[in-house]
Structure 1
Amino acid sequence: MASSLRTKLRIATTVLGARGFWDALAGRFLWQPQIPSPPLVPTKSETEREGVGQSEERAEAGGSVRGSATWLRGALHVHTCTYSDGAGTIEEVMDAAKAAGVDFVLLTDHNTMRPKADGLEERYAGQTPFLIVGDEITVKGGAFLLALDMPGEFEFAPGHDPQVAIDAILAVGGLPLVSLPDDMKHPWDAWDATGCEGLEALNLSTVAREHINLLSLAWLLPLWKSKGELAVLRALCTRPDASLASWDRLLALGKKQIGLGALDAHALMKIGKKKHPIPSYENSFRAVTTHILATPTPAAIHAAIRAGHCYFAYDCLGELALEFRSLPPPGGGQGVGIMGDEAPVGATLTATGPETALLRLYKAGEGVVAAGKGTLHYRAESPGAYRVEAYLVGAQRGPFFVGARPWGFTNPIYVV
């Protein structure tokens, strides 16, 4: 699709203005204050839970999370040359996923569900990694929708109005999500459309493209030559401010919205007029994954995504085990909840991560309401959507964390 003058000007501004370079630089030196969590007086329900393990809490938490569910890492939003514009075949993609150590791949070739109709999910069923097939639909104006949990016979021509596409996905029981909300060429602007159930709150391709500029290349090319492609991807790990802001705006309106970490992996990147085989599928799969609490089947993955039982992370910065739970308020009430679940007003929200991580609790529409190192606790005395961001920090100087880099992002707990 040919780019409009407006699109070309937006790309030129991004490249010449070095957007992305400055936020990457700031991430090395920015001092982030630790906002103390309000002191808590343990309630009876919290005291009774001392000594209860994570597996028991998970078994109690949230409708669909039971028994054999485990945290599975998925590479989401992947393209192939077999069905659209990727560089590799299905076999090459799955080999790369196995080498990267992910549990499953979500294939989203453009405007087609043929991979599912051709039996590819069945071919890889019961294997690690296994395969899930979705669709990336191009809407009017060039923006994109992810269509998940779709039947193999689904056919839909590109170029329709976004609302028409969303309605078509919902009509067959699918899950519509905004793809590439802040794409440089075709950002999503149909925020008034109804029925969309979430978005790619982090997209590796968008983050990477924001860093392709004159200033950053002087830094990134020597890094690539000396330490390799994955080191460059680590250098690009920045907070996706615009996408997170869009997510929070929707959440602040009282909408339940799923957030995912995605790749848009093609193993190709166009720089200028040339296409380069970067980043590789394997390194993309090592860079960003979505962690989903489910059993290893496509149906269970789709159910967990719908429930918001997932978080997403820059795994190239290191393994991140991130928990976010709610404990019932004084007087009891419903049991333990996890990310994606509802909790009553007065519930205690608890997040745990690596001891060295800075955890920040965001309330949609208000910003950061609590923070802590390795763990945080917060009694939610007002309704809203609360989510956690984890940061990898270089050092701590008194109440400040130096060189905080975004690491992981949970889905919200909805206090009602």
Structure 2
Amino acid sequence: MGIRRGRGHGWHRGDCHVHSARSHGAELTPEQVVAGARAVGLDFIAITEHNTSDTHAAWGPLAGDDLLVILGQEVTTRTGHWLALGIAPGQVVDWRYGIRDGVIDRHPEQVRAVGGLCVAAHPHAPYPSGVFAYPFDGFDVVEVWNGRWRSDLPWNADNEAALAEWGRGLAAGIHGGRWRPALGCSDTHLAGQLGVPHTVVLAEESTTAALLAGIRAGRSWLAGSAAVELSLTAATGDASAGIGQRLETGDGPIVVRVDVRGVPSGTVTFHTDRGTVHRVRLPDGGSGALTWRTDAADAVFVRVEVRHPAGQMAALTNPVVLAGP
């Protein structure tokens, strides 16, 4: 469920892991949250208080045509946290269990029953209960980039580990017909954290259902700020596909094109099931149109990462799936 707004087909920037003062350790009022979201150029947010729906009623008067608020919850179990996005007003998902209780499968189904989405949150968070002990199999999406700890340095070793773990399972998931997209969220608790990072989603309209469908399908990429712009396409013959889509390749050559803006002197890397296969430095101005060539016999998918000169992540994409003949 969410507060509706009126914007059509296109790319929408949103932060799916946001807390107000109703969550432990958070300090922002709902009014400050929505003001901050608008200030950093977000189109939607998901409010994910810890184990409560207390603020669900607060967001209606605060949203508008320029900002959608998705209702959610951070479910903080004893052995890992997960996000329930798109839940019903007032709905609370139980959190009082751990992996040894063997009940985790019951609770995501309650979220999906109302059209919601289940996200494995910050899998390698460095505190008790923060490390995600459950299999990713029971969840729809994996939060590989969580920016909570330092808004000035939102990429750290925990995110690097989460990205590596997600990336290792990507080829097998695609081959098996079920891969889990990556998500990037700020996990906002304090001022200055909103949108660092966030997820840019291709959706038919700016409604909860359409945005969650785009996230579930992997039609999205992750950005460190609204200053970063990116597109990724793969083409062969007359066919082309974008992020989260499948390219029917045949046996001809595939041309992969990436357009990036907003990352001065950054580095773009191309990744497939064989690992990192190509690396290009962006100009000092931060903008570039890059191409790389492959074929379906050599790559199951292609995705890209864009990093700042010091190695901090600026953006990363979900894959374009390359289907052979």
* TM norm. shorter chain > 0.5: yes
Code of the aligned partner of 2:134:
A
| Alignment match, 1:144 | 81
Structure in which a larger fraction of residues adopt strand: 2
- Report the 3-state secondary structure (helix = DSSP H, G, I; strand = E; otherwise coil) of the residue aligned with 1:88: coil
Tell me if 1:288 matches 2:226: no
Q: In structure 2, what is the Cα distance between the partners aligned to 1:258 and 1:165?
A: 20
After superposition, the Cα gap between the structure-2 partners of 1:81 and 1:68, relative to the gap in structure 1 and judged at 3 Å, is closer
Per the TM alignment, residue 251 of structure 1 is displaced from its structure 2 partner at its CA by 1.0
Match of 1:391 among 300, 307, 311: 307
- C-alpha root-mean-square deviation of aligned residues, in Å? 2.6
| Alignment match, 1:262 | 185
After superposition, the Cα gap between the structure-2 partners of 1:292 and 1:187, relative to the gap in structure 1 and judged at 3 Å, is same
| Alignment match, 2:294 | 379
| Alignment match, 1:348 | 255
| Alignment match, 1:49 | none
User: 1:363·1:384 contact (CA, 8 Å) conserved in 2?
Assistant: yes
| Alignment match, 2:143 | 200
Give a deviation string over 1:161-190, Cα, whole Å, max 9, x none: 433333333344321110111111220121
Per the TM alignment, residue 310 of structure 1 is displaced from its structure 2 partner at its CA by 1.4
- Report the 3-state secondary structure (helix = DSSP H, G, I; strand = E; otherwise coil) of the residue aligned with 2:145: strand
Q: In structure 2, what is the Cα distance between the partners aligned to 1:298 and 1:173?
A: 9
| Alignment match, 2:108 | 166
Tell me if 1:336 matches 2:254: no
| Alignment match, 2:94 | 157
Normalised TM-score (structure 1): 0.63
- Report the 3-state secondary structure (helix = DSSP H, G, I; strand = E; otherwise coil) of the residue aligned with 1:91: helix
Give a deviation string over 1:240-292, Cα, whole Å, max 9, x none: 3201111112212223111111121111xxxxxxxxxxxx1xx2125322222
| Alignment match, 2:320 | 413
Code of the aligned partner of 1:168:
Q
Q: In structure 2, what is the Cα distance between the partners aligned to 1:119 and 1:234?
A: 29
- Report the 3-state secondary structure (helix = DSSP H, G, I; strand = E; otherwise coil) of the residue aligned with 1:247: helix
- Report the 3-state secondary structure (helix = DSSP H, G, I; strand = E; otherwise coil) of the residue aligned with 1:128: coil
Tell me if 1:249 matches 2:168: yes
User: 2:148·2:193 contact (CA, 8 Å) conserved in 1?
Assistant: no
| Alignment match, 1:71 | 11
Match of 1:182 among 120, 124, 127: 124
User: 2:244·2:321 contact (CA, 8 Å) conserved in 1?
Assistant: yes
Normalised TM-score (structure 2): 0.79
Q: In structure 2, what is the Cα distance between the partners aligned to 1:203 and 1:384?
A: 27
Give a deviation string over 1:63-92, Cα, whole Å, max 9, x none: xxxx94233222231111246652122112
After superposition, the Cα gap between the structure-2 partners of 1:287 and 1:98, relative to the gap in structure 1 and judged at 3 Å, is same
Flag the structure with larger Rg: 1
Q: In structure 2, what is the Cα distance between the partners aligned to 1:167 and 1:298?
A: 18
After superposition, the Cα gap between the structure-2 partners of 1:125 and 1:91, relative to the gap in structure 1 and judged at 3 Å, is closer
After superposition, the Cα gap between the structure-2 partners of 1:99 and 1:172, relative to the gap in structure 1 and judged at 3 Å, is closer
In the TM superposition, 1:22-33 aligns within 5 A as: none
Code of the aligned partner of 1:194:
D
Structure in which a larger fraction of residues adopt helix: 1
Percent of paired sites with the same residue: 25
Per the TM alignment, residue 409 of structure 1 is displaced from its structure 2 partner at its CA by 0.5
Q: In structure 1, what is the Cα distance between the partners aligned to 2:152 and 2:23?
A: 30
| Alignment match, 2:214 | 304
User: 1:83·1:109 contact (CA, 8 Å) conserved in 2?
Assistant: yes
Q: In structure 1, what is the Cα distance between the partners aligned to 2:54 and 2:295?
A: 46
Q: Which has the higher contact order (CA 8 A, sep 6+)?
A: 1
Per the TM alignment, residue 119 of structure 1 is displaced from its structure 2 partner at its CA by 6.7
| Alignment match, 1:326 | 234
After superposition, the Cα gap between the structure-2 partners of 1:311 and 1:252, relative to the gap in structure 1 and judged at 3 Å, is same
User: 2:43·2:67 contact (CA, 8 Å) conserved in 1?
Assistant: yes
User: 1:83·1:115 contact (CA, 8 Å) conserved in 2?
Assistant: no
- Structure 1 stretches lacking a partner, 5+ long: 1-66, 209-232, 268-279, 394-402
Code of the aligned partner of 1:350:
R
Q: In structure 2, what is the Cα distance between the partners aligned to 1:143 and 1:73?
A: 26
Code of the aligned partner of 2:133:
D
Q: In structure 2, what is the Cα distance between the partners aligned to 1:131 and 1:250?
A: 31
